[in-house]
Amino acid sequence: MSKASSKTTARGDGGSRSEPEAPRAGARRGRPGRRTAAERKQAVLQLLSGKATVDQLARRFGVKPETVEGWREMALDAVEGAFRQGTTQSPREAELERERATLEKVVTRLTMKNELMERALKEFPTRPGRSRR
């Protein structure tokens, strides 16, 4: 029984991905279910250090290659967040904060408008309507 060779291509983001190998008889994908944080960390470290490819890790951990790539992206995002200076907010948190401030201004403006309308109605009650007889 001979192993099928795989062609590895370098990627610009620190990882590499090999082309699919032919499945071996009796090969298992690994145990099903969710991977622990330690397993995901191990996979990402092996991927970024060049010790394993995306496809190799996917087979070893029993997940799709896209899942391993997602782990890498999450890890790189976390590293970026750790190195971010000057703010402790993520871009999404900053966006939500701006949206909250805008909504607060709108609510304040509508509350003031409502209060003024209520005062005007109390000071100048409307006259009863006339009948058309």
pLDDT, tens only, 62-84: 899 999 999 999 999 888 877 77
Looking at domain 30-83, does it have CATH number 1.10.10? yes
Distance, first Cα to last Cα, the chain: 106
Query: How confident is the model over 92-111, as pLDDT tens digits?
Result: 888 999 999 999 999 999 99
C-alpha to C-alpha distance for 63 and 130, rounded to whole angstroms: 78
Q: What are the extents of the domains in the chain? A: 30-83, 88-124
Number of Cβ atoms within 10 Å of the Cβ of 111: 10
Q: Model's pTM, two decimal places?
A: 0.44
The pair of structure tokens assigned to 29 is 């994908």
Residue that has been written with the tokens 């060049």 in this structure: 50
